[in-house]
A and B are shown apart, each in its own frame.
Chain A
Amino acid sequence: MSDSLKLTLGPLLFNWPADQVAEFYGRIAELAPVDTVCLGEVVCQKREPLLGGTLAEAAGQLADAGKEVVWSGYGLIADEKDMAATKGLAESSEGLVEANDITALPFLQGRPHAIGPLVNVYNEDTLRWLVARGATRICLAPELSRDAIARLTEAAGEAELEVQVFGRLPLALSARCYHARAHGLHKDGCQYVCDRDPDGMAVDTLDNEHFLAVNGIQTLSHSIVELSAEIDDLIGIGVTRFRLSPHHVDMVAIAHVWRDLLEGKRDLPRARRIIQTVAAFAPPSNGYFHARPGAVALNN
């Protein structure tokens, strides 16, 4: 059964220096028991030149290590430059391309492709429509509950459905860069201040409650979604792919925990303990899965 269950490392959402990115993917290639790695800048096209050929090199290393590479496209495609880049990505990539904006779909139509969590797939009709156009893999939006996911897996046919089980949740995108704004800067002259926060910039309430995290034009949850305790349920309702969203922590350790879980080694207290120790910068949450506010952490 574990053969059909796959572990995906989602795209790196943050602005890390190129040498760190290279080292990160080098380690993933060598040590992380993941089946698939998504590469590509999803949040801000301005960051892309900073990485130079780092991701292309990482793709080679990952492929050599037997991992599938998926190229993830932009989340918010606004101008002609974004569009041209997306078209280029779709045309030049050999492997699967993951659309994170509807705009990418016409470039991908008629060939197998993936749909990322930033594209709205809320119901069976939309899911079937996308699958009929060539979507073979769909990572669902984080706000879907267990019941909604279960309905969607029933309608998915041959397509694989993926759920994010680790990492901060992508909650919103804007034309405005909140990193720049928080530093008194404008998006066009942002000085790349998003590189100061490798897991996103803390956004707290005026009562000092941790609440959100800003990553350039993206807003993430402060909490880390953590669905290890839900694994039997996820598998039971037909989810076959499990996404880990990269953070500035030991992602190899996180990947090992999840590989063990998928292979049936279900020491849940141990899994939870390792995840919360490795990713100690924010508390876990699982509310969305249980049809509650996303920030909620239910004990189960």
Chain B
Amino acid sequence: MTGGALELVCPAGTPASLRAAVDAGADAIYLGFRDETNARNFPGLNFSRDELADGIKYAGSKGVKVLVAINTYPRAGNPGPWRAAVDDAARLGAWAVILADIGLLDYARQNHPDLRRHLSVQASAANAQAIKFYCDEFGVKRVVLPRVLTVDEIARINDAVEVETEVFAFGGMCVMAEGRCLLSSYATGESPNMNGVCSPAEHIHYEERDGQLVSRLGDFTINKFREGEPAGYPTLCKGRFRACSRDSYLFEEPVSLDVSNILPDLMKAGVTALKIEGRQRGKAYVAQVVSAFRRAVDAAARGEQPDTADLASITEGGQQSTGAYEKGWR
């Protein structure tokens, strides 16, 4: 963190993205191992142990920290992969681990007391009391806040707790309380909590019907698009459904989160770090978003209103939202 600026925590799904994010001005990189121990368990993504070691070395040479997300819930009868992920993150010199499960937090606290522990958004700690609980019991140093809070609520939380807070700044938006959503497994058998995936690609198929493109997840239709209409990825909660005899994006429009125009408010609210979503994105996207946020964060730190025009072009479907950060969202 430099001179009171918000710390910029950036995603890396591959070693190439890690380098791109570091070079574009990230303060920290978060990533996961190539297995179901992290919440972006997608084919072709994530890091082997050797790649993590190299990544930490490269990031470290530029003064950038590496955080390892181990934020799915260990499976009953098989804690091995999750414990090994914590052990290896510690052994390879990660700056912090990002955890959600109580049992795993306890394991890390007991076995690696000096390894910095962050609370994943997947733990859904949405108020000061819950945050204090994780700090008191597991020595958590930073909490990634759920995307369900308004800026005012974030400010009140920061007044009430000692711990650092990190908020989501840009990218995909969960409309449900994170870590407490089983919609994906209801349709596909695979969930963020258990498998590190939401609406996974292998359960998606498309059909052409009556001049429309129909996207299906498992046995359920998630959306239909007329010819020429941009077809977004059929994440379950971003689908179009029928309720009260009306078809609509019942849960959320296909928008992406962008807080760049409220950075000064977030600084005032006492936030320590900004998290950019997108470990599944390519290195060009990562470089573009990280450098735009680098400029915006530095501008905000100088007391200027950030220029956010270059971010608008990257957002999903061109639509942006400050999401739950503004109360009107609810």
Q: Is there contact, CB below 8 Å, between A209 and B77?
A: no
- Give 19 A-B contacts (CB < 8 Å), ordered by A residue: A83-B129, A102-B133, A105-B133, A106-B129, A125-B102, A142-B182, A143-B185, A148-B75, A151-B76, A169-B186, A175-B177, A175-B324, A175-B329, A177-B330, A182-B243, A187-B330, A205-B239, A206-B247, A294-B185
B214 partner residues in chain A, CB cutoff 8 A: 206-207
Q: Is there contact, CB below 8 Å, between B240 and A206?
A: yes
Among the stretches B189-197, B290-298, B308-316, the one at the interface with A is: B189-197
CB of B182 to closest CB in A, whole Å: 4
A35 partner residues in chain B, CB cutoff 8 A: none
Q: Is there contact, CB below 8 Å, between B242 and A205?
A: yes
Q: Is there contact, CB below 8 Å, between B133 and A103?
A: yes
A80 partner residues in chain B, CB cutoff 8 A: 127, 156
Among the stretches A19-27, A242-250, A285-293, the one at the interface with B is: A285-293
Q: Is there contact, CB below 8 Å, between B101 and A120?
A: yes
B241 partner residues in chain A, CB cutoff 8 A: 203-206, 211-212
Among the stretches B9-17, B103-111, B265-273, the one at the interface with A is: B103-111
Q: Does B307 contact A (CB under 8 A)?
A: no
B250 partner residues in chain A, CB cutoff 8 A: 178, 181-182, 203, 214
CB of B194 to closest CB in A, whole Å: 7
Q: Does B180 contact A (CB under 8 A)?
A: yes
Q: Is there contact, CB below 8 Å, between A103 and B130?
A: yes
Residue among B77, B101, B104, B327 making CB contact with A151, cutoff 8 Å? B77
Contact with A along B234-249 (1 / 0, CB 8 A): 0001011111101110
Residue among A149, A172, A188, A206 making CB contact with B330, cutoff 8 Å? A188
- Residues of chain A at interface, number, CB under 8 A: 68
A203 partner residues in chain B, CB cutoff 8 A: 241-243, 250
Q: Is there contact, CB below 8 Å, between A124 and B193?
A: no
Contact with A along B119-159 (1 / 0, CB 8 A): 00001111111101100100000000000110001001000
Main secondary structure on chain A at its contact with chain B? Answer: mixed
Given known contacts A79-B153, A187-B330, is B222 in contact with A205 (CB within 8 Å)?
yes
Instruction: Report the tally of A-B residue pairs with Cβ distances under 8 A.
Output: 210
B147: nearest chain-A partner, CB-CB: A175
Q: Is there contact, CB below 8 Å, between B243 and A204?
A: yes
In the bound complex, CA of A141 to CA of B244 (Å) = 29
B244 partner residues in chain A, CB cutoff 8 A: 182-183, 201
Q: Is there contact, CB below 8 Å, between B148 and A293?
A: no
Interface set of A (CB-CB < 8 Å, partner B): 76-80, 82-83, 101-103, 105-106, 118, 120, 122-130, 141-144, 147-149, 151-152, 169, 171-178, 181-183, 186-188, 201-209, 211-212, 214, 219, 221, 287-288, 291-295
A127 partner residues in chain B, CB cutoff 8 A: 103
In the bound complex, CA of A189 to CA of B194 (Å) = 36
Q: Does B206 contact A (CB under 8 A)?
A: no
Interface set of B (CB-CB < 8 Å, partner A): 73-77, 79, 100-104, 106-107, 123-130, 132-133, 136, 148-149, 153, 156, 175-177, 179-183, 185-189, 191, 193-194, 214, 218-224, 237, 239-244, 246-248, 250-251, 324, 327-330
B102: nearest chain-A partner, CB-CB: A126
Q: Is there contact, CB below 8 Å, between B103 and A171?
A: no
A151 partner residues in chain B, CB cutoff 8 A: 76-77
A173 partner residues in chain B, CB cutoff 8 A: 176-177, 180-181
A288 partner residues in chain B, CB cutoff 8 A: 185
CB of A295 to closest CB in B, whole Å: 5
Residue among B74, B193, B330 making CB contact with A176, cutoff 8 Å? B330
B328 partner residues in chain A, CB cutoff 8 A: 186
Q: Is there contact, CB below 8 Å, between B176 and A219?
A: yes
